[in-house]
Structure 1
Amino acid sequence: MSIRLWRAGVPGLAMMLVSFHQSIAHEIVGNRFFPATLGIDDPGVNDELSLPTVDSFKTGDDPPVRQRDISGEFSKRITEDFAISFGSTYTFLSPTDPTAAGANGFQNLETTFKYRLYKNPFHEFVMSVGLSVEWGGTGAKEVGADPFHTYTPTFYFGKGFGDLPDTLSWIRPVAITGQVGYAVPARNFTTTFGIDPDSGDQTADTEFHPRVLNWGGTIQYSMPYLKSAVVDLGLPEFINHLIPLVEATLQTPVANTPTSGTLTTGTINPGVIWVGSTFQFAIEALIPINRQSGSNVGVIAQLHLYLDDIDPRGIGKPIFGGPVAPANPFARN
């Protein structure tokens, strides 16, 4: 989810913190399996658990701060097309400046409501809409958790290229996914009052909380799809379970920006996913797009469990409705 906006700085360190929403769903559309990816959410709804997701990177502050996160997220289908997910992240901050104090604590709790609008198996196309809510005041201010709620309506889509003609069969394993969200803080600004130590006069410092466009996408090449739906090259079985991909997770302040500016920040994340019938493991690099996004290449990894395949008649079944078709990459291929 899971890819996240740049947050307000930690008091005393003047830091900008990135907090990745680990994505927590996988989806079958026709012959196409859309795996859970680490930077953005995929376009499907399923019963799943991401635990743990871990990352490590240096922030774009001067001097930079080493940030490490451990996250978990649980998604539960209410119906076949509607799911609710709950996520939490614990953050460790280690300043590179030996005179600065570190900090650790939970980020705000997050809840996402997601509905699958449309699914076209022949064209391997799916789209969904959702609303994510960051519950202000549930995290620690020492790690940048805001005291106010943030609401992010989001559009998700996925498209596989399995409908291409035979002359382009080598492109059929390719798929793209994307999302666009608009994060709206419940509070437009925060004013902090203080006393000038020299004059004794009262001072006021106002920080505006921007509205942020969260956007990104992935391009994937599915080796399971290549073997099952295009051609079996006789590759080792380990290779046939891999999905190499590149993600982009970007944030652009677009309104209420007097103190934040409008600079786009984010990362480009090349990596690979190994998919099994009931779980997957993924690892990606975090490459900042500019100095404000980070000061070196980081890393993120995730173990992701397909609850709807592990226990399709129990915890993996929608609350309303019976079991649905398995959503693992080998069930139909």
Structure 2
Amino acid sequence: MNGPSRTIGFIGLGHMGGPMAANLVKAGHRVLGFDLVPELLATATGNGVEAAGSATAAVTAADVVLTMLPAGRHVLGLYQDGGLLAAARPGTLFVDCSTIDVADARTAHDAAVAAGMRALDAPVSGGVPGAEAATLTFMAGGAPAEFAEAEPLLAAMGRKAVHCGGAGAGQAAKICNNMILGVSMIAVSEAFVLGERLGLSHQALFDVASTASGQCWALTVNCPVPGPVPTSPANRDYTPGFAAPLMAKDLGLAANAVREHGVPAQLGLAAAQLYADYAAGAGARQDFSGIVRTLRDAATAPPPAEPTSDPKDGTAA
């Protein structure tokens, strides 16, 4: 176990929160969990989480409260109107792992401090596979003392935790990281579609780019075409590891920050629009790498016929 056993209140046991809570149990911690969806709560209890009757019941005996929720309004609603801050013991550490707006993260932090609590924003990168395998990366914002206290818990759920600065800095790092990811996935997908039109096999392009200057996570881990990376969602008909609507949400947060701060991030804004359109349509239930299909469908010329010979020796295939 990383550090002493703690009692943890965990609110939000979905695709990410459920496996994260289970990993805390595996590390020897007592986890009191709650989710509005009974099926998610049942799955969590099967993994050793103790079911609480309500969100407030999950936090009354907790040393640390973790939240993994869809949006800032849910975090702020639970902290204040939902009574989490009022129900917790004074000095409880609140760690929000949701991805929310930087301003909302700072508002939540201030509300927690005003209520006599301590707070850390700690969004994650790594998707559902990372949550299940405890290989997430945490980006934390808050005081050094709060980060030091939370670090053993983050280590039980992930591979790396980075203290990025004060309140909201974790969310700032998350949206910057995911802007890079969204832009790079579009670039990799565009390259594969162009390669198809030029007669390149997926494997040939991968073999070159993965060991050359085009190498990136979107290519070598989450390759958007089936074949070269057997574990990528492309080989499972784009069943989500990181769902397109979540990428659209994160890029929307990044786009808001870009506009607010006057940054000329043309690629980031274009990626935000592409993913918003994709998530609202064909990508609603697909992995974010499935955007390659949209780009392929938009191509004006059909791909050439498959090669009839092996380029390595010139013989008939």
Normalising by structure 1, report the TM-score: 0.25
More strand by share: 1
More helix by share: 2
Q: Which structure is richer in relative contact order (CA contacts within 8 A, separation 6 or more)?
A: 1
Normalising by structure 2, report the TM-score: 0.26
